Structures are given as structure tokens and as C-alpha cells.
Amino acid sequence: MKKQLENIRISAEHELSKVKSQKDIENIRIKYLGKKGELTNILKQMGKLSNEERPIIGQFANEIRDFIAKSIDTNIKKIKELELDIRLSSEKIDVTLPSKRRHLGHRHPLTIVLDEVKEIFIGMGFNIVNGPEVENDYYNFEALNMPKHHPARDTQDTFYINENTLLRTQTSCVQIRTMEKSNPPIRIISPGRVYRSDAVDATHSPLFHQIEGLVVDKGITFSDLKGTLETFIQALYGKDSVVRFRPHHFPYTEPSAEVDVQCFSCHGKGCRLCKNEGWIEILGCGMVHPTVLKNCDIDPEVYSGFAFGVGLERIAMRRYNIDDMRLFYENDVRFLNQF
Ligand code: DAH
């Protein structure tokens, strides 16, 4: 029986030397030390031994069991370390590998140009203000010196919500809201959406964007208007861009003008881009009409001001040589990816 026990120790030791996983060790534990294991089987036969042999063999069997149990413990430790090593090396991150390409979005060309415009005017000391897109007739027309039945109302096909409420056709309403709320000196621009009931084509859309500008203070003259707008256009289109002020009429400014930039494609000679005119119109402007100042409780004998309205799509189209306005609203990624 002693020989049998010795054999069990040797074969357990041999098997333990070859284990590769915790599972292997568990199998060995069951095989030798388990309830139906080899060692247990032998111990069951102890009853057949003589009284002298029994304690000796019993002690020996205990020693063998302790030995195997200890070997199992040390092997479990070793295997755990080994498994950890394998895991660490297999999960290692190679920080020098190129990363997965992520698809980054793009800023919309209108946003890019608007950000530039804001930057330019902030640099000249202007504040940025916002106004509502759903407006009253009063702010969109009446206060801007366009009473009911004024012919200038017909030039802007208006979406009416009811008799008195409409979608603003221009950002000029923000001039009134600003002058009502604050005292001169006032220096603001107000970008935003405007709406007109126009059919969609290459140069028209029922929704487009304007940037309104307003300056009111003592002693503001038309030269301030010219200087401000020339500075703006040269900052936007480059120092050598040529600007022209052309007389025009708006009910809320007097005198009024439209500003053209010399076509940068043909430099004034005339081409397809400028429809052979050599000039491209980009904004309307003028000195704020005394009636408009009065409507906002500002004394036109003390204060004067200028205002302007820029079409954002228009300057973005010129900026990027885009010849169809619809491209701005279709959100075709092939178009947007170019910016
Ligand atoms: N509101 C005009 C338009 O929608 C643009 C404009 C012209 C705004 C002259 C102004 C201005 O403030 O003074 O076409």
C-alpha cells in the first residue's frame, strides 16, 4: 500500500508538471484528492490493515495528500501568473499604430462666411444681437416707414400668419427692436433667417439669410457709413477689392445706396458671373430716416445713424464661386465636403 501511495505522489507530480491551465489543475485535484479520487480509494482500504500498520500508513497517506495539495496551490499560482502574462501581452496596445479614420463633419459654407463677417464687425466694436423670426407687421413694415398700402411692401412677398403676424421678410425689424430697447451710442449687427414667398430657383429661396447693421450716435455721417462698409468689404474680399456706392431708394433710409463690388472674376470687364455688368451688388444701405428714429423715441435733431442689410447667401456665393443657391440647402455631402 505504501508503494501505491508513493506511485500516486509520483504520477500526480508528473501530471502537475505538464499543466497548462487552471482547468487542468482542477482535473488533477479531482482525480487524486476528490471524493472518488485515487487517494480516497486507497484510504478506504485502510480497514484491511493491521493495527500496527494502520497509523504508519495513515500518516504517510496524510503526508502524500498534503504534498499534492501544496503542489496544486503552487501550480495554481504559477498558472495564474502565466495566464496574466499571456493576457497582458495579447491585450497590449501599440500606440504607434495609425488610428481608425473618423469622419469629421464640416462647417456649412454659410456658417464659415457668417463667422468671418461677425469677426470683422466685432473687431470694429459692434455687438451681435438677435431678433424673432415671427414678427409683427409693425416691426417688419410700419415702424420702418412702410405704412399699410405702401408700394414698397409689394417688393417683398410676405408669408402672413394672420393680418398682423408674419414671417419677417428682412432683418431690418431688429433695428427697431434695438433702438426701442437701448440708447445711443448703438453699434450692432444682427444676422438671421428671413422669409419670402418666392419660387425656388438658382438665385431665390423662400428662406435665406441677411445680416443687418445699425449705428446710431451723435454726428454720424455718410462718410462713416462708407468707411465702415469699405473696411468690411476689403476685410472680406481682400485689400484690392473695388467698391462702388450707387444711389437707390429704401423707405427707412435717406439718402440710400446699394453697394457693388467690382467683379473679381473679370475685374470689371464683364463676364458670366456678373452678367456682363462688371459689378456685383452685395448690400443695401443708407442714413437712418428721421421718421424711423422718431418711431423709436430717438431725437433726429440730436442723433443720426446709418444702417445696412447684407444678403449672406450672396456674399458666400461670390466668395466660393457658387452659382446655384440651392446647393446651400440640399446638404449634399459631396458639396459640403469641399469646405
Ligand atoms: N432690408 C433690405 C432688403 O431686405 C436691405 C437693407 C437696405 C437694409 C438698406 C438696411 C438698409 O438696413 O439701410 O433688401
Higher pLDDT, 125 or 20: 125
> Distance, CA 105 to ligand 1 centroid (Å)?
33
Per-residue pLDDT tens digits for 251-288: 999 999 999 988 767 888 888 767 888 898 899 999 99
97/207 Cα distance (integer angstroms) = 47
Question: Is-contact 49 60, C-beta < 8 A?
Answer: no
Q: How far is the CA of 171 from the centre of ligand 1 (A)?
A: 8
**What H or E segment, with its residue span, contains residue 33?**
helix 22-33
DSSP structure string for 40-67: HHHHHGGGGS-TTHHHHHHHHHHHHHHH
- 29-79 residue pLDDT tens: 888 888 888 888 877 888 888 888 888 888 888 888 888 888 888 888 888
Give the DSSP H/E element, type plus range, for residue 189. Answer: strand 186-195
Confidence of residue 129 (pLDDT cuts 50, 70, 90): very high
CB atoms within 10 A of CB 309: 22
279-288/253-262 β-pairing? antiparallel
Kindly give the distance from the C-alpha atom of residue 134 to the centroid of ligand 1, in angstroms, as a whole number.
18
Across the range 4-10, mean pLDDT stands at: 83
Q: Whose CA is nearest to atom 7 of ligand 1?
A: 284
Burial class of residue 273 (count of CB atoms within 10 Å of its CB; 0-12, 13-18, 19+): middle
49: phi then psi, degrees, rounded to nearest 5 = -80, 160
Q: Which residue puts its alpha carbon closest to atom 12 of ligand 1? A: 308
Average pLDDT of 135-146?
96
pLDDT in tens, 82-117: 888 888 888 888 889 888 888 778 899 999 999 999
Nearest CA to ligand 1 atom 4: 170
User: Which residues contact ligand 1 via a Cβ below 6 A?
Assistant: 170, 172, 212, 250, 253, 284-286, 307-309
